[in-house]
Amino acid sequence: MGNESITKTEIVICLGSSCFSRGNKEIVNIIKAYIKDNQLEDKINFHGCHCFSKCSEGPILKVNEKIHTEISTQNILNILNTISF
């Protein structure tokens, strides 16, 4: 039993009112299903935050340090499929 450090990919979705009203509620469910279907629970830390202060560019998703703007149900799977786990 060593000091193995497992670094998880951090995915943060904006749950502010502007992004939420533009569809982030449905996107949250898509991401949760993607994590479960691909058995990535041990590799991803997925959570929400209140605001990235980029409301006009929303919905917003942050993967590690990279901000993705104008997230939609049409492009979320493409974004998730580009992440190296």
Q: Across the chain, what does the average pLDDT equal? A: 91
Residues 40-55, mean pLDDT to the nearest whole number? 93
Is it the case that residue 61 has pLDDT exceeding 90?
yes
Cβ-based neighbours of 18, under 8 Å, separated by 6 or more: 55, 58
| Beta pairing, strands 61-63 & 9-14 | antiparallel
Domains of the chain: 11-70 (3.40.30.10)
Tell me the percentage of the chain whose pLDDT exceeds 70: 93
DSSP state at residue 49: E
d(CA 67, CA 85): 17
pTM for the model: 0.88
Residues 16-35, mean pLDDT to the nearest whole number? 93
d(CA 7, CA 49): 20
Residues 45-65, mean pLDDT to the nearest whole number? 93
